[in-house]
Structure 1
Amino acid sequence: MKKKIIITLLLIIPFISIFLVVIFRGILSPSNEDIIRDLKNIKCYETKVEYIVKNSKGEERESTVQYYSKEEGVRVEFDDDKVKLYKSDGIHVRDNSSTGEYVIESDMDILHSMAFMNKILSYPLKSDSIKEGQEEWGDKIYIQVDTELFLNNEHFNSARIFINKKTKTPIGIVIYDKDGNDSVRIIYEDFKIVKEVDENLFN
């Protein structure tokens, strides 16, 4: 009887070991698909975002600070003290003009919302485009994935998203026009995943 138990244990142990290795590998070393999924489902983050828009005049740069809360929405702060709050009923704009605060429809601001992780990763991702590289962003090993935007806008036809594999945070997004030329570059700096964002920022 004792011999049977020992033999049974010896047969079971390898399977348990393999099972534990698979589980812990998924936790300690998630796949590229897992990293993308977790970033899409992130609850709160804060980051600096720079937009580089290419047009016939050259390049235009715009620096912003972004606060994202899955529950509250998105707050974008601009250098000229303008603030945009992206909520379910539209975009609430606050600036130094005589109007003070007003609301515009969400589809009136495509550019800035392209940097929202939950939005850009909600478009259909091309699974066969997921790959790793190191050429585009210096010494960072990144994951890149492509998506079609389906916006009926010739300047926003598709996008390539770059994610830092080590920190599991976004590095940048390149948006391409209908001819395959990059029309917008979005660059993230000091991206922080946080437990919560002060809800007063959205009031």
Structure 2
Amino acid sequence: MMKRLTITLAIVLGAAVFLQACGEKSQESVMKRMDKQLQEMKGYKTKAEMRMNTGKEEQVYQIEVWHKKDDFYRVALSNQEDEKNNQVILKNEDGVFVVTPALDKSFKFQSEWPENSSQSYLYQSLLNDIQQDKESNFQVTDTHYLFTTKTNYQSNNNLPYQEIYVDKKTYTPVLVKVLDTDQKPVVEVKFEQFQLNPEFNEKDFALDDHPQTDEDKAENTGEKTEQVFSIMYPEFTAGAELQEEKELTIENGTRLIMTYDGEKAFTLVQEHKETVPSSAGFTEVSGEMIDLGHSIGAISNSMIEWNYNGADFYLASDQLTREELIEVAKSVVQQEVK
């Protein structure tokens, strides 16, 4: 009787081990498989749609990511309704650049991007967030592995979590939902395709290899434009009120200085150029690259600078916190007064 029971128990245990081996993979095994794939691949190309609900209206961006091993990146961010503000993030052996093709303008950053913050559209950044969060949650669906992890957004503490959906066949991300403190999705990145080990040309990551459209070239002739610029006001002011608006004439345009007074005083400067040089080159900035939603900016000490709709913006304050400074900058395009 005892011998029969032992045999039965052995069969049951063996079957359990067999079923486990044939069943769903564990969180650790999925992470190892993703890490191995990332280490062995020569690079990847992917396209994604990013929807952001951080303001009054939803913003939709098309993203194209090229990554080549040895830390080369090209991330093109475009918005069909706002093509003049399309931008390209480029990282090569010379540094990190943000290019605005329509203006032939580039900023060079002394930056550790993309390692210094979560990037919802980069494979390696998502995997790093998964690996760094020892308390991440893991679930399995019919078609995906789902990780819920903490984020590492230096510029936004209001987006602490993310859901990362990984394809069970390819082990590549298919959907990312960035959640607010109430666990509601605020940013959603949906990957449309993911190509591993594509071929790249030597010029694919070169700063001067970004062909412009005929419309872009027409805007860069150095001739005066007929465009009427609108003055932009921040919707969020941290309680400060507009005290003074001073307009100055500068070379090729106008400079508007807005002074906001209160417990959290700040100054907002807007510069509108009537002509655009045919070859603007790049401006080197020492600040950290930051995503403002409407554009990519640079933050350093107590100042943020960015370009939007052909105008240069500078926001400075020694009283606003870093988070408040970023929130003011993000809100500038949300209220437009002509």
Is TM more than 0.5 here? Answer: yes
1:146 matched to which residue of 2? 148
Distance 1:179 1:105, change over 3 A: farther
Contact 1:173 1:186 in 2 (8 A): yes
1:131 matched to which residue of 2? 139
Structure 1 stretch 118-127 or stretch 67-76: which is displaced more?
Answer: 118-127
Distance 1:105 1:155, change over 3 A: farther
2-structure distance, mates of 1:63, 1:160:
20
Q: Offset at 1:147?
A: 1.9
2-structure distance, mates of 1:186, 1:163:
12
Percent identical: 20
Q: Offset at 1:174?
A: 0.8
The residue type equivalent to 2:177 in the other structure is V
Q: Offset at 1:158?
A: 1.7
Structure 2 residue ranges without an equivalent (≥5): 1-20, 207-338
Q: Offset at 1:86?
A: 3.1
Contact 1:72 1:202 in 2 (8 A): no
Distance 1:181 1:37, change over 3 A: same
2:196 matched to which residue of 1? 193
Q: Offset at 1:173?
A: 0.8
Structure 1 stretch 48-57 or stretch 146-155: which is displaced more?
Answer: 146-155
Distance 1:43 1:160, change over 3 A: farther
2-structure distance, mates of 1:51, 1:111:
17
2:310 matched to which residue of 1? none
Q: Offset at 1:67?
A: 0.3
The residue type equivalent to 1:122 in the other structure is N
- 1:114-125 alignment to 2 at 5 Å? 114-123=120-129, 124-125=132-133
Contact 2:136 2:150 in 1 (8 A): no
Out of 161, 166, 172, which is 1:158 matched to? 161
2-structure distance, mates of 1:146, 1:175:
10
Residue 89 (structure 2) pairs with residue 84 (structure 1): yes
2:30 matched to which residue of 1? 32
2-structure distance, mates of 1:128, 1:158:
10
Larger radius of gyration: 2
2-structure distance, mates of 1:111, 1:61:
21
Higher helix content, 1 or 2: 1
Number of matched pairs: 171
Residue 201 (structure 2) pairs with residue 175 (structure 1): no
Distance 1:111 1:52, change over 3 A: farther
2-structure distance, mates of 1:158, 1:199:
37
2:105 matched to which residue of 1? 100
2-structure distance, mates of 1:119, 1:143:
17
Q: Offset at 1:40?
A: 4.5
2-structure distance, mates of 1:112, 1:127:
17
What is the TM-score of this pair, normalised by structure 1?
0.69
Structure 1 stretch 50-59 or stretch 82-91: which is displaced more?
Answer: 82-91
Residues 154-192 of structure 1 show CA distances to partners (whole Å, capped at 9, x for unaligned) of: 233121111110122210111112332211111111101
Structure 1 stretch 105-114 or stretch 162-171: which is displaced more?
Answer: 105-114
What is the TM-score of this pair, normalised by structure 2?
0.44
1-structure distance, mates of 2:59, 2:113:
19
Query: Secondary structure at the residue paired with 1:130?
Result: strand
Tell which has more relative contact order, 1 or 2 (C-alpha 8 A, sep 6+): 1
Query: Secondary structure at the residue paired with 1:120?
Result: helix
Contact 2:179 2:185 in 1 (8 A): yes
Which aligned runs of 4 or more in structure 1 are off by greater than 4 angstroms?
105-112
Distance 1:40 1:131, change over 3 A: farther
